[in-house]
Structure 1
Amino acid sequence: MPAIPCACSPVMTSSTTVAGTWAPVRWRRWLNWPRARCSVDPFAGFSHNRAFSQERSMVSRKTLSVLTALLVMGFISVLVILSMLGGVDNYTPTTDNPVVIFSDACARCHGERGLGGSAIGPRLAGVGESIDEVKKQVSEGHGRMPRFPNIRGRALQNLAAYVNELSIHAEETARQREP
């Protein structure tokens, strides 16, 4: 259905030649006129309006860029969350020394002396868990803490006693600092 010309559209005049035919230049100019400015049909001609289609493609590019950035950030967030969830840590102790085991397996999350300080693991010093609770936590894991199936036997007993000792020393230090 052809657009209805109105006062805001260019006048369709015929440039007649000697033979009396339409001049193709003026006709083409009328067809490409941005009819969106026409008061009769304000949405007519948007698909033919070059400025509008370029603006629409710019909006589409910006939208696509934003959506891509959000998708990448979401994917990275999921990876970080999954890496923080408890799993299995394949750390195998090479000694029964609890200080070495703690610094190799526990300190990266709970701090060098069990005082916390990282966003991953809580403070262990001053928690007051029994040796059996510590052993269960290490061998089974809980929440974000992975289980350590390769720490067992004498190494597990020594590590649990060391963590319990950290708690006792933290409580004594806190009592000494009180006025």
Structure 2
Amino acid sequence: MKKLRVVLTFFAAAALVGCGSSNDYTPPADASGERIFSTACSECHKPLKGDVAMILSENMANKDALKNKVKNGSMRMPAFPNIQGDAADRLTDYLLENSEVK
């Protein structure tokens, strides 16, 4: 029973690694949305097929929700507070143009 508790604790901790963390990546001023995605996001969000970057839920398929998620992160996703302004617009435009909504 003790071994099971240790294993479960380990997996719970591993699942929460990104929780509350932040990434200090700052995109170059001229970076395209695709370049920002490739540099900052594709480590965890691998492009799915061809030109589909992500599958977005309906409530995430808008600029404000995406910008908020990028800026603040979420349970497993780190925050990217340095992706803001025009860079955030370019990233969210890229995501909205190259993702499927489910």
How high is the TM-score relative to the length of structure 2? Answer: 0.70
CA deviation profile, 1:16-61 (whole Å, cap 9, x unmatched)? xxxxxxxxxxxxxxxxxxxxxxxxxxxxxxxxxxxxxxxxxxxxxx
| Matched residue SS, 1:80 | helix
Number of matched pairs: 95
Unaligned runs of 5+ in 2: none
CA deviation profile, 1:73-92 (whole Å, cap 9, x unmatched)? 24422330221435312222
Is 2:15–2:76's contact at 8 Å kept on the other side of the alignment? no
User: Of the two, which has the highest radius of gyration?
Assistant: 1
1:99 matched to 2:34? The reply is yes
Which moves more between the two structures, 150-159 or 103-112?
A: 103-112
Q: 1:114 aligns with which of 53, 56, 59?
A: 53
Structure with bigger helix share is 1
Cα distance in 2 for partners of 1:79, 1:89 equals 19
Residue 16 of structure 2 is matched in structure 1 by 82
Q: Calculate percent identity across the aligned residue pairs.
A: 34
Structure with greater contact order relative to length (CA < 8 Å, sep ≥ 6): 2
Q: 1:86 to 1:108 in 2, by over 3 A?
A: farther
Q: In structure 2, what residue type is equivalent to 1:159?
A: L
Alpha carbon RMSD of aligned pairs, Å? Answer: 2.7
